[in-house]
Structure 1
Amino acid sequence: MSTRNAYDPYLYQDVWVSPMYLAGSNGTGDAGFAPIAHWPHHNLDDGPCQLLVTSPDQRIRIGWFGDDFELWKITAAEDPVSAPRWTATFNHVTPAEIVAGLTTTLAHDYSEATDSNARFLTNPSLYWADAVRPLTDAGWIRDGGAERGTVEIIAPDGQAGVLIDNRLSDWDDETITLWAGPPGWGTRAEAAFTARTPSHLIAATAAAMTDVAPVIRERHQIDRKVEHLVTITPVSPAAPQTPRAPTPLDVHRTAVAQAADRAARAARAPQTAADLRAMAARSRTATSTQMRSSSPAPALGARPLGSTAVPRHNR
């Protein structure tokens, strides 16, 4: 990417990118924050966590670490001062649209939570398949070469997958990792979940990865090592807007223009039979006058045609 001209307008054109899981981050995180935009926001510009969004009771916390490798850190706890029950992290390459799969479900769970029942704190399913069912339903297949004690499921294009670690681990260990893109600091997106993350929350994030709708990016935001793996389509021009209703000033101007046009036509064309007769009379008069003026004058001393000349000596 360093060989690109940073001032080339072409690099800042908006384009559609698919598959979405290879689109990378657009650097803002807006899509991930949109579902919880109504929750309290805390700007922490001086710390590594630049923005913290919490549920109203502060049991759910979504942190944005704008300059770190782990860009997002999302946790849920029994109460505001307890240690997190589970943690989900998303690195700096992960599209915010994938994060939105999790935050959308968290917002829904919180809106339906009661003091005695909060789905975002439920225990995960005993079956690992429940957490990744959206992937298998979408045709992702199990890789038989995964390490013993783990399960890996791969997308049909081979450029995304999920690694499930079924070996004994602590509650705070990361046991499920969604990934997309070639290995590398700027190309591999990763979303990791600790052991007690509810299965339906992982499934919601996985479902976002199966979304076939393209996403908008600027050209320079697509890593050059990924360009050949994605479909890039220029964003079409905006559709024409519906014509607005005419204002009183528009109506007045139209009426004035129409009146002026009628007056001009009236000046050029007769409107009554009398006008026609008058024009015909003027035309005949003009024609007669023109004919007389165009006839040659008689020569000096010539007698009129048909007259009888009387010789002077006979008088």
Structure 2
Amino acid sequence: MTDPDPIDGDVFVSPRYLAGSTFTGDPALKPLRDLGWEMHHNDDGNVYLTSPDRRVRLGYLPEGDDDGLWRISAYTDAFAQPHWGVCFNDMAPTELVTAFTTALAKAYTDGPDAYLTGPGSADSQASAFNAVVPLINRGWQLQHPRWGVMELKSTDGMAGLEYTSGKLDHQRELTTLEARWYMWGGPARPRWYATASSNTPVHLVTAITTAVSDPAPLPRWRDAMLRSLREAAQLTPVTPPPPPVPTPLDVRRNVARLPPALGTVSVPRWSTASRPPARPAPRTGGARR
């Protein structure tokens, strides 16, 4: 019998958008590395992945110039400016990034139509609505409409999404928070955020909205969380699973492993027909004084 996978944390955090980062990039890098994407890093410890066709690039930048820890971009031509770009800052729960890179890995396997554009127009509000459906289905509320902005918030008001319609400056989308999609979470600043520019395939954005609204809690080490997150989130201690109940086959195997001295030696028993053992002879010696 094999042991279950260990839970990496001493508490479960709910809602998950208050969990904060795990401060490790390996889980989010794995889906793309499994596809054989080329990886290299610089002397500062920043990691870069590049797809075999050079059309998709990912940067994991713990030593970058700003708080944009994850930057992913796609190109219609390897030497052109990015066709779309996605960014997660250093506070974003790593599981959200992993959900995105997992969807991106599948889209890359499906081909350019899936990872460059995807079905439908990424800039049409009708198509964009597909990405907010997971939020609405899990109780997020549409806010009072603002001109050109569709906004939703979680029921506790500690996470939100904004979708901006109309024409945007594409370069600013890639370098600022003024992007087509803006998601955030946290009780107060500093908050985590994620942005996705125009042309980002809606199904890739949907992977993020599905993950951020998932009701399942996330494991974290309590002492590694920011105090503001610990105070705002619901923390439940992680209890180890009970030991597995041995099967009859396990019992037989354990008995078979007993050493012969324990498994074969018989213990004599008295009966009415058996002859009692002889009494030992009395001790001799000097009398006590």
Question: TM-score of the superposition, structure 1-length normalised?
Answer: 0.72
1:100 aligns with 2:111: no
Match for 1:203: what amino acid?
T
- Hey, what does 2:131 align to over in structure 1? 131
- After superposition, the Cα gap between the structure-2 partners of 1:180 and 1:259, relative to the gap in structure 1 and judged at 3 Å, is same
CA RMSD of aligned residues (A): 3.0
- Hey, what does 1:164 align to over in structure 2? 163
1:284-295 mapped onto 2 (5 Å cutoff): none
Q: Helix, strand or coil for the counterpart of 1:111?
A: helix
CA distance in 2 between counterparts of 1:225 and 1:97 reads 20
Match for 2:105: what amino acid?
A
Shift of 1:58: 2.7
Q: Helix, strand or coil for the counterpart of 2:156?
A: coil
CA distance in 2 between counterparts of 1:255 and 1:124 reads 73
Larger radius of gyration: 1
CA distance in 1 between counterparts of 2:189 and 2:207 reads 26
- Hey, what does 1:196 align to over in structure 2? 199
Shift of 1:177: 0.3
Match for 2:217: what amino acid?
P
- Hey, what does 1:148 align to over in structure 2? 147
CA distance in 2 between counterparts of 1:13 and 1:155 reads 25
1:40 aligns with 2:37: yes
Match for 1:131: what amino acid?
A
Structure 2, unaligned stretches of length 5 or more? Answer: 1-7, 174-178, 280-289
Shift of 1:36: 2.3
CA distance in 1 between counterparts of 2:254 and 2:229 reads 55
- Hey, what does 1:119 align to over in structure 2? 114
User: Quick one: percent identity of the two aligned structures?
Assistant: 31
- Hey, what does 2:183 align to over in structure 1? 178
- After superposition, the Cα gap between the structure-2 partners of 1:93 and 1:101, relative to the gap in structure 1 and judged at 3 Å, is same
- Larger mean CA deviation between 167-176 and 148-157 belongs to 167-176
Match for 2:138: what amino acid?
A
- Hey, what does 2:79 align to over in structure 1? 81
- After superposition, the Cα gap between the structure-2 partners of 1:131 and 1:171, relative to the gap in structure 1 and judged at 3 Å, is farther
CA distance in 1 between counterparts of 2:244 and 2:53 reads 43
1:152-301 mapped onto 2 (5 Å cutoff): 152-172=151-171, 173=173, 174-185=179-190, 188-241=191-244, 251=256, 253-260=258-265, 262=266, 265-266=267-268, 269=270, 273=273, 276=274, 278-279=275-276
Shift of 1:50: 1.0
Question: TM-score of the superposition, structure 2-length normalised?
Answer: 0.78
CA distance in 1 between counterparts of 2:54 and 2:251 reads 51
- Hey, what does 2:70 align to over in structure 1? 72
